[in-house]
Chains A and B, each alone.
Chain A
């Protein structure tokens, strides 16, 4: 136990650097995936056949390719087309795009769950499509979407470790680097696991609260 504590004090500052990148990747890709997800979802429910088709195709292509392959593609293939990104940028864009597919399905389900009478009531007082979305549909869909959104957040936090495959030294990779140079596998990976739990358990708790509040309707 003593050695564990001593080693922990030694390793934690290094792991903290990884932690910072993990948070950066998670938050960055969360924002990007949310924006793109809402965009795909709005295209799907726009009532314009071609827009819906484009969004559906994008979502299916994204869903059909493993995240790790998407990351490789963005980091290793795009430079061939003259688009060079740092590993961190590639990780945020890759995870953001990959998760936008799941986000959009979630948002679409939320929007489509709203009673059609709401749409008609909005139309009957002269609201256009965008105003109806902004003032009537989205505020109500928000409550439906929130609990699954929390789950996506937790999945993203964990999947941010996939950024290690394109050299982003986030928490998991930082741990692996320390472990392979010190051979203190037990200490290092226990710390890494504990740090992930420190972030995800509060999130899980918050999501549970949200489900309790909005789930029952």
Chain B
């Protein structure tokens, strides 16, 4: 449902994506791993049209992603995003954050949107926090609200941009377990992450990115336990055995 063909992206003179091609099928969970600066997050942001790209093409359900075209709104309602730093709206409660998109972008009736919003907060384990403001919530709780906000758009896929990187270590688990539930429910997910064990357990496929290129890709178990490429081997050695 998401297709990238030979995508190139540069920031000024620095080329950060140097011809990436990949596909994500419906219902698939794809984890993108790689060292920082390898372009993982940039690719994700291109899929959602938060960044433009110079060459190649990205399509979502056959519609080309072009951030300057009118069609970008429909792409974004089909592909939601969860950010590293949550980016909840601080002036709205958890529930208001969740229903904001359905009511104001999709025009859903308020009552139905609020009902659905409460169900989603319940699903991420935060039914009791509906009336809390983001600053009253822990990082893990904020990220779970952000996931509920993404789900509220009834997207066909959700992109996760290092969803646990800004969290205290003891809060990482609660976010990963919510994501695990979503994966079991068959949601299409593209996850940029450093959580290798999560990737091994949940991902169908893993892409290993280095210097703007996909160096290795394959089934999660294969890439993560028996990497073929020396760069992947080196990276996994460093990540799995931190000093």
| Residue among A115, A118, A126, A128 with most chain B CB within 10 A | A126
Are B91 and A123 in touch, CB under 8 angstroms? no
Give the bracket for the number of chain A residues in contact with chain B. 10 to 19
**Chain B min CB distance to A67 (Å):** 35
**Chain A min CB distance to B87 (Å):** 4
Interface flags, A127-164, vs B, CB<8A=1, else 0: 11001000110011000000000000000000000000
B85 on the A face (CB < 8 A):
yes
CA distance in complex: A135, B104 (Å): 9
Which residues does chain B contribute within 8 Å of A82, judged by CB atoms?
none
Interface size on B, residues (CB 8 A): 25
Name the residue on B nearest A116 (C-beta).
Answer: B87
B88 on the A face (CB < 8 A):
yes
CA distance in complex: A118, B81 (Å): 13
Are B77 and A125 in touch, CB under 8 angstroms? yes
B76 on the A face (CB < 8 A):
yes
Evaluate whether A131 and B87 lie within 8 angstroms (CB atoms) in the complex, with A124-B50, A126-B76, A126-B153 already known: no
**Chain A min CB distance to B21 (Å):** 24
B149 on the A face (CB < 8 A):
yes
B63 on the A face (CB < 8 A):
no
- Of B74, B85, B91, B149, the contact of A125 (CB 8 Å cutoff): B149
What total of A-B pairs shows CB separation below 8 Å? 58
Which residues does chain A contribute within 8 Å of B87, judged by CB atoms?
115, 117-118, 120-121
Are B83 and A125 in touch, CB under 8 angstroms? no
Are B89 and A121 in touch, CB under 8 angstroms? yes
Which residues does chain A contribute within 8 Å of B81, judged by CB atoms?
120-121, 124
**Chain A min CB distance to B36 (Å):** 18
CA distance in complex: A127, B104 (Å): 8
B80 on the A face (CB < 8 A):
yes
- Of A118, A126, A128, the contact of B89 (CB 8 Å cutoff): A118
Evaluate whether A121 and B73 lie within 8 angstroms (CB atoms) in the complex, with A127-B101, A127-B104 already known: no
Q: List 19 A-B contacts (CB under 8 A).
A: A120-B81, A120-B87, A121-B89, A123-B49, A124-B48, A124-B76, A124-B81, A125-B76, A125-B80, A125-B100, A125-B101, A126-B76, A126-B77, A127-B101, A127-B104, A127-B105, A131-B104, A135-B100, A139-B91
